[in-house]
Amino acid sequence: MIQGYAIHGMPDEALRTFSQMLKLNLKPDHVILVALLSACNHAGLIDEGWKHFNSIKPVHGIQPTMEHYACMVDLLSRRGRLREAFDFIKEMPYDANANVWGSLLGSCKIHNEVEIGRAAADHLFGIEGWNIGNYVLMSNIYAANGKWDGVEHVRREMKTKVQRKPAGCSWIVVGRKNNVFVATDLCHPQRHLIYNLLINLDKHLKDPLVKMDSESWRNNGPANSETVDDTGLVDDNDKDHLDAFYSILVKRELKKNWFRGFFEELESLEEINIRAREWHCPACYNVLGVIERYKVANP
């Protein structure tokens, strides 16, 4: 029951059930204590989490396992207490595994923490150097903080250790036919029409996007001529940033007006289902928001 409450985001019920269990003189095992710490984690209850963690051995007579430590690291990291989480890892009686370091690295991405993120990434590169996701996370932390030398360093390190990640793509089905789109794609039979459309869009995108999120756009957008390559890492080169928009602009927001005459088949459809291999970044949604506003103002 405690585990079920924790999984379904009901920490109060989990803690209450645990208290009732103790009143009935039922002794918890290490699995129940992991579930209890998970409940504290989901609710962000740091003080409550520390209280139960510190009671594992003296009160319940159980030696804390890696899972208990991992729960505390995740709890601290998610709440932005990254230095405390890092020091806690260094004091662990075990060598932290990939789950522990991965939790810290993921939170460093959320909170834009470079120094601790790099330390976590170094451990992950040693533990599971094949995992491209760790390189992408660290590269994105560097990029979000404008540290392009760090981005390039991670890129070189990744190329020596892992195989290339498959290119991300989006696809739509029109007339029972798949239309697949990837960045810098030159294979689509209507690529000339698509790029002509993008050139027109480009004239109306820059200023609104800069005003919408100037710092993010400055770090990741045309001010640095940055694009994201098929490894998922930011690439510092001279490619036109239009390529970054190519795989996201053939969406239902565009079909009724701007693709009239380009894709006549789309006009018979009420909706278009978009499939994507990767998550879209926040900048993609900013772009689509600007496009939607421009479309309404210029039917």
Predicted confidence at residue 166, as pLDDT, reads 61
Identify the domain boundary among 161, 193, 222. Answer: 161
Predicted confidence at residue 197, as pLDDT, reads 73
- Asked if 138 and 73 sit in the same domain, the reply is yes
- Asked if 270 and 154 sit in the same domain, the reply is no
- Asked if 13 and 153 sit in the same domain, the reply is yes
- Asked if 88 and 71 sit in the same domain, the reply is yes
**Average pLDDT of the residues of the chain:** 76
pLDDT at 234 over 80: no
Q: What confidence tier does 230 reach under pLDDT thresholds 50, 70, 90?
A: very low
Q: How many CB atoms lie within 10 A of CB 110?
A: 12
Q: What confidence tier does 126 reach under pLDDT thresholds 50, 70, 90?
A: very high
Predicted confidence at residue 14, as pLDDT, reads 92
Between these two residues, 226 and 49, which has the higher pLDDT value?
49
Output the furthest CA–CA distance in the chain (Å, rounded): 75
Assign residue 68 a region (left: φ > 0; alpha: ψ between -120 and 50; beta: otherwise): alpha
pLDDT at 249 over 70: no
- Asked if 101 and 228 sit in the same domain, the reply is no
Predicted confidence at residue 237, as pLDDT, reads 40
Identify the domain boundary among 134, 161, 188. Answer: 161
The total of structural domains in the chain comes to: 2
CATH number at residue 131: 1.25.40.10
**Interval 80-98: pLDDT, tens:** 999 999 999 999 999 999 9
**How much of the chain is helix, strand and coil, in % rounded to 5?**
60, 5, 35
Identify the domain boundary among 143, 161, 179. Answer: 161
Range of the domain at 234: 170-297
- Asked if 157 and 181 sit in the same domain, the reply is no
- Asked if 122 and 187 sit in the same domain, the reply is no
Between these two residues, 287 and 102, which has the higher pLDDT value?
102
- Asked if 63 and 154 sit in the same domain, the reply is yes
Candidates 292, 188, 191; CA nearest to 242 is: 191
- Asked if 191 and 147 sit in the same domain, the reply is no
pLDDT at 130 over 70: yes
- Asked if 151 and 37 sit in the same domain, the reply is yes
Predicted confidence at residue 182, as pLDDT, reads 73
Between these two residues, 220 and 152, which has the higher pLDDT value?
152
Predicted confidence at residue 74, as pLDDT, reads 95
Between these two residues, 138 and 187, which has the higher pLDDT value?
138
Predicted confidence at residue 139, as pLDDT, reads 94
- Asked if 195 and 280 sit in the same domain, the reply is yes
If you average pLDDT over residues 165-186, what whole number do you get?
69
Predicted confidence at residue 239, as pLDDT, reads 40
Predicted confidence at residue 180, as pLDDT, reads 75
- Asked if 269 and 221 sit in the same domain, the reply is yes
If you average pLDDT over residues 244-264, what whole number do you get?
44
